[in-house]
Amino acid sequence: MILLALETSCDETSAAVIRDGAVLANVVASQIRLHAEYGGVVPELAAREHLRNLLPVARAALHQAGVRPADLEAVAATRGPGLPTALLVGLKAAQGLAGALGVPFLGIHHHEAHLYSPWISGEPPRADFDSLEPHVSLIVSGGHTMLVAVDAVGRHRVLGATLDDAAGECFDKTGKLLGLPYPAGPVIDQLAAEGQPRFDFPRPLLHEANDDFSFSGLKTSVRYYVRDHPALAGDGRALRDLCASVQAAIVDTLVGKTLKAAERLDRRCLTASGGVTCNRALRERLTRECAARGLHLRLAPPTLCTDNAAMIGLLAEWQLRHGTSADSLDADIAPAWELGAQRRE
C-alpha cells in the first residue's frame, strides 16, 4: 500500500510517503527559528506557517519518493492531541486529498505514533511492529511525559503521566532561566556533556508509589538558584555544571520511574520515544541500566524522536492493513484526545 501522511500538531510541518511498511520519504520543515524569538510555540503563528509550508513539504515528499498523487492508496494525518488550529491544517488537507482521490483517510493519535516509533529501524526506516513484545514505554516530549504499558500494537494502557510540566518543557523552561535559546533541550544536552552534576536538584516523585511525574518543582529550584547566585552570568564553568545537574535530575527521575514500572509489571522490555529521547545522557543511561538488568531496550531512532510524519504514516498503514476502518472525511480534530480513549467516527 502507498500512503501519504501529514503531521501538523505543533511546530513541525511534515509529510511522509510510506510503501508496504517502509518510509520512502520523510520531509520535515521545522518552525523552531520562528518561535525561538518568543521563547515558545505561538499557536496562531504555527498554524499560519503550516499553511505556508504544507503543500511544498508534501510535494517534496512525493517527489523524493517518486510517487504521483494518483498512485496514493490512502492518506493519513495527525488528528490529535495538539494545537487546534495547527491540527486543522494537516487534517483538513488530508481529508480533502483523500476525498479527491477516492481513497481511505485515517486520523492518527500523535502519542500513539510516538509510542510505536521505537519499533522503526533501518535505512530506509521500516516498521518492525510484528516483532513487538510486551513492554513499558516512556514517551517524553515538549508537551507530554508518560509511562505506558503496551501488550501489542493498539493494546496499551497509560500507567502515569506528568502532573504539571513535561520533561521537555522542564529542559526548555530551565534553559530560559539560564539564558539559553529555545528549545533549550539540545543546548543543555551539549553544555552538560562538558559539565559536572555537582548541584543537587530534586528528583520529584522518584520514590513515590505511582507512575506519575512532576517537573515544576525542579524548575522552581533552578529559578531560586539563579536568583541567589547572580554571579552565575558570565561563569561558563558554573553554567555547564548547572546544565549537567538539571539534566541529571531529569534523567534520574525518568529512568528510575521507568525501571520501577517495568519491575512491578514484570516486563522484560523497555522503549522510549519523543523529542527528549534525543538526549544523549538519557539514551546512555537507559542503555546501561537495561544491559545491567538483562532487559531488552528499544529507543526511537534520533531522527524520528522529534515530530515527523513517518511515524504517523507507518502506524496508519499498519492499521489499515490490519483491518482498521477508514475515518470519515468530516472527522473533526481531537486536540485533547487522551491516549487509549476511543475516538472513531
Nearer to ligand KG4, 189 or 317 (CB): 189
Kindly identify the residues of this chain, within the stretch 34-63, that bind ligand KG4 according to CB under 6 A: none
Nearer to ligand KG4, 67 or 169 (CB): 169
Kindly identify the residues of this chain, within the stretch 134-153, that bind Zn ion according to CB under 5 A: 141
Nearer to ligand KG4, 162 or 221 (CB): 162
- Does 142 sit near ligand KG4 (CB under 6 A)? yes
- Residue (of 122, 159, 121, 115) closest to 141 by Cα position: 115
- Does 118 sit near ligand KG4 (CB under 6 A)? no
- The correct pick among 104, 107, 204, 275 for binding ligand KG4 (CB under 6 A) is 275
- Does 78 sit near Zn ion (CB under 5 A)? no
User: Are residues 80 and 36 in contact, defined by beta-carbon separation less than 8 angstroms?
Assistant: no
Binding partner at 185 among ligand KG4, Zn ion, none, C-beta below 5 to 8 Å by kind: ligand KG4
- The correct pick among 8, 117, 137, 141 for binding ligand KG4 (CB under 6 A) is 141
Element (H, E) at 333: none
> Is 242 exposed, middle or buried, given 0-12, 13-18 or 19+ CB atoms closer than 10 A?
buried
- Does 171 sit near ligand KG4 (CB under 6 A)? yes
Nearer to Zn ion, 58 or 115 (CB): 115
Tell me the closest approach of the beta carbon of residue 244 to ligand KG4, in angstroms: 12
Nearer to ligand KG4, 10 or 255 (CB): 10
User: DSSP labels for 92-133?
Assistant: HHHHHHHHHHT--EEEEEHHHHHHHGGGEETTTTEE-GGG--
Measured CA distances, 234 to 208, 230, 239, 240 (Å): 38, 10, 8, 11
- Does 241 sit near Zn ion (CB under 5 A)? no
- The correct pick among 307, 310, 311, 337 for binding ligand KG4 (CB under 6 A) is 307
- Residue (of 68, 86, 142, 122) closest to 307 by Cα position: 142
- Does 165 sit near ligand KG4 (CB under 6 A)? no
**Nearest residue to the partner ligand KG4, using Cβ:** 275
- The correct pick among 304, 306, 318, 331 for binding ligand KG4 (CB under 6 A) is 306
Measured CA distances, 31 to 7, 35, 37, 50 (Å): 13, 7, 11, 9
- Side by side, which strands form the sheet with 2-7? 105-109, 74-80, 2-7, 12-19, 22-30, 126-127, 120-121
Residue 202 has which C-alpha cell?
530534586
Measured CA distances, 66 to 60, 105, 132, 133, 295 (Å): 10, 21, 30, 34, 40
- The correct pick among 278, 309, 311, 331 for binding ligand KG4 (CB under 6 A) is 278
CA distance 80 to 320: 18
Nearer to ligand KG4, 62 or 138 (CB): 138
User: Are residues 167 and 213 in contact, defined by beta-carbon separation less than 8 angstroms?
Assistant: yes
Tell me the closest approach of the beta carbon of residue 69 to Zn ion, in angstroms: 27
Interface residues toward ligand KG4, by CB under 6 A: 10, 141-143, 168, 171-172, 183-186, 189, 274-276, 278-279, 306-307
Q: Which residues bind Zn ion (CB under 5 A)?
A: 141, 307
